[in-house]
A and B are shown apart, each in its own frame.
Chain A
Amino acid sequence: KNQVEQSPQSLIILEGKNCTLQCNYTVSPFSNLRWYKQDTGRGPVSLTIMTFSENTKSNGRYTATLDADTKQSSLHITASQLSDSASYICVVSDDGNKLVFGAGTILRVKS
């Protein structure tokens, strides 16, 4: 069964600190992996999209990594800001363009 598991379920960090969110998947065949940021009460917004051949992709203070062999991805946030407080969703697509969504990690950055 195609699944996407994210950890931790929730996380609280101090402003300015770094954090890493994890995503493990069993989706096969694999096409791409995306990280979305979803502010409370809003729709998700795409942060990065990575294909099989990409190991790292950055978007400002967000850096995503992908290990297609172990089927793991991480999202690293550097020098966190209060505005980073949101839910971060990992989404994996198979080669038929079917998307499997993780349940998300809720991040809270406090001052």
Chain B
Amino acid sequence: SQTIHQWPATLVQPVGSPLSLECTVEGTSNPNLYWYRQAAGRGLQLLFYSVGIGQISSEVPQNLSASRPQDRQFILSSKKLLLSDSGFYLCAWSNNRSPLHFGNGTRLTVT
């Protein structure tokens, strides 16, 4: 069966520090991978999606970047965090035969 792992679960980082959130998927090959941000009281906002290794599409301009160094690995990064980067970040995967499957999320607090 397919599983998705996302870590860390919570993270507190100072303004200006770098960020690296990692997401890996098991049990499927060539999945579509996504990074979402969820703000309180609002719907999920798509940040990045990837249909293959090295292929990244950005939905909104921002302080973050994404990379897909391996087929089932998706990384969300920032060189210098801003206060506004605080939020709940969700990684997800899908393929032609399934709906989105989400990881358990990372609660990021930038102080």
Contact = CB atoms under 8 A, between A and B. Distances in A.
B105 A101 contact: no
B41 interface: yes
A89 B4 CA distance: 20
Contacts of B104: 41-43
Interface residues of A, number: 19
Interface residues of B, number: 19
Interface stretch (A11-19, A44-52, A54-62): A44-52
A61 to B, nearest CB: 20
B10 to A, nearest CB: 9
Interface of B: 4, 6, 9, 41-46, 90, 92, 99-105, 107
Interface of A: 4, 9, 34, 36, 41-46, 49, 89, 91, 99-104
